Amino acid sequence: MKNYNNYKPEDFLTDERFRKWMLSEGREESLFWEDFKEQFPEKINDLTLARSLFMSLHRLQVQGDKKIKDKIWTQVQEAVDDTDPEAEFYRAPWTLYRWWLAAATLLLVGGLVWSGRSTFNDVPLEYEKQVSRAEISLNEKVNTTKTQQTILLKDGTTVKLKPGSKLSYSDFSANKRIVYLKGEGYFDVAKDSTRPFMVYAGHIIVRVIGTKFNVVSTTGKATGNVSVTSGKVMVYATDNSEDQKANQAIYLYPNQKVVFDATTKIFEKGLVTQPALLTETENPKEFYYSNTSVNNILNDLETAYGVSIRRNTALFESCRITAPLGDLPLFRKLDIICQTIGATYEVFGTEIVISGGGCNL
């Protein structure tokens, strides 16, 4: 194995095994990188940051001209490698800053390349145009009040429509369940495996079978977002072709969200601001712990909230704490745990990473 002790995030991006791992979406080299995390727990943060950078740089919804992208990558490498040897003391933060600057430039230029080359394939992106081109008769509900309104659709789906928002829908007598949203709405979709439910929201489409989620339309806005309470949804850009929908769709699970920038055509996936417990059971977890293993507590949180918490399990193997976490929000629970064991945590995309710490209690 290479000497990874001095690896920075930008070093991972040029590592052949890392790139192979990322390009295969974890199907290749996964055992190697799992072993790596066990051997180099202190590098997990750098590895996670490198993954986030890599995914951001490869999430352009349509590939631009290869020569242009190769040129940009060359400029990125030059920005990273061209470091003043006499300023080695400042190398890490300055190099990382330059990498972020170069990466941002790549994303911006990539977005411009996409904008210049793509077409909308005759798919209208504004609410009014989408509604006017609908093949069936639609009803429209406009919330002109200052309070949220609940709409019950024919199939049993409920929509909580925010003030100033619009929703167009049919009686769902056809084989499809399609609605059009302008503004913001919270959907509790009735399950029907034979007729997927689709929400057209400006530049994005949300496709589900039965679940609960919130949508903020991109109509008239630079960004839109989707957050999931339960179930699973698929989100993709309105102007994608049928092949691109399958290849470039974003899949969301409970407590995950995605933000779509209509200007750059880029999706950014992450956790919701306040993750909620997945389900209420007959015996809900109370989260009151006495002399309990930190690993066991974190396992409970992963299961209860459906999140991934990355940490060095060996480091906390013998670490036991007493913590009355109760009904505190997830991130407040993590604050208390980390303060107790002297660790810190950060959120990278949909993953929570705990660094440092130990247990001498």
Domain boundaries, position 228: 127-271
Going from the C-alpha of 234 to that of each of 162, 276, 292, 304, the distances in angstroms are 22, 20, 38, 23
Q: Rounded to a whole number, what is the distance in angstroms from the first to the last CA of the chain?
A: 35
Assess whether 211 and 304 both reside in one domain. Answer: no
Nearest alpha carbon to residue 207 among 182, 232, 227: 232
- Give a yes or no: residue 281 inside a domain: no
Report helix angle 294-305 to 330-341, nearest 10.
170
What ranges make up the beta strands (E) of the chain?
A: 139-142, 149-152, 158-161, 166-169, 177-182, 184-188, 197-201, 204-208, 212-216, 223-230, 233-237, 250-252, 256-261, 266-271, 288-293, 308-310, 320-324, 343-348, 351-356
Distance CA 113, CA 232 (A): 32
Q: In this structure, what are the phi and psi dihedrals at residue 104, rounded to the nearest 5 degrees? A: -60, -40
User: Length of the chain in residues, anyone?
Assistant: 361
Last residue of one domain, picked from the residues 241, 271, 301:
271
- Give a yes or no: residue 338 inside a domain: yes
Quick one: pLDDT at residue 56?
Answer: 63
Assess whether 229 and 297 both reside in one domain. Answer: no
Assess whether 24 and 142 both reside in one domain. Answer: no
The answer to whether 182 and 165 are in contact (CB under 8 A) is: yes
Distance CA 217, CA 212 (A): 16
List the CATH number of the domain containing 316: 3.55.50.30
Q: What is the DSSP letter of 233?
A: E
Assess whether 187 and 266 both reside in one domain. Answer: yes
Assess whether 168 and 235 both reside in one domain. Answer: yes
- Give a yes or no: residue 280 inside a domain: no
Distance CA 211, CA 231 (A): 5
- Give a yes or no: residue 166 inside a domain: yes
Full-prediction pTM beyond 0.75? no
Assess whether 109 and 42 both reside in one domain. Answer: yes
One digit per residue, the tens of pLDDT, for the chain of length 361 reads: 567 777 887 788 888 888 888 877 776 777 788 778 877 888 887 888 788 777 766 554 334 445 544 554 555 455 445 444 444 333 344 444 455 545 544 444 444 334 333 333 344 457 888 888 888 889 999 999 999 999 999 999 999 999 999 999 998 887 889 999 999 999 999 999 888 999 999 889 999 978 999 999 987 777 889 999 999 999 988 875 555 555 678 999 999 999 988 888 889 999 999 999 987 555 667 899 999 999 999 999 999 999 999 998 888 888 899 989 999 999 999 999 999 999 999 999 899 999 887 775 4
Helix %, strand %, coil % of the chain (to 5): 35, 25, 40
- Give a yes or no: residue 361 inside a domain: no
Assess whether 338 and 306 both reside in one domain. Answer: yes
Last residue of one domain, picked from the residues 65, 84, 117:
117
- Give a yes or no: residue 278 inside a domain: no
Going from the C-alpha of 321 to that of each of 101, 294, 325, 333, 336, the distances in angstroms are 42, 7, 11, 13, 11
Assess whether 266 and 134 both reside in one domain. Answer: yes
Last residue of one domain, picked from the residues 65, 91, 117:
117
Assess whether 134 and 113 both reside in one domain. Answer: no
Assess whether 108 and 193 both reside in one domain. Answer: no
Quick one: pLDDT at residue 89?
Answer: 37
Task: Record the tokens describing residue 95, joined without a space.
Answer: 């190099």
Residue 238: other Cβ atoms inside 10 A: 20
Provide the domain count of the chain.
3
Quick one: pLDDT at residue 22?
Answer: 81
- Give a yes or no: residue 182 inside a domain: yes
Assess whether 167 and 257 both reside in one domain. Answer: yes
Residue 164: half-sphere exposure toward Cβ, Cα within 13 Å: 6
Distance CA 182, CA 88 (A): 53
- Give a yes or no: residue 103 inside a domain: yes
The answer to whether 205 and 238 are in contact (CB under 8 A) is: yes
Identify any residues that bridge with 276 across adjacent strands, giving them in sequence order: none
Assess whether 135 and 267 both reside in one domain. Answer: yes
The answer to whether 9 and 46 are in contact (CB under 8 A) is: yes
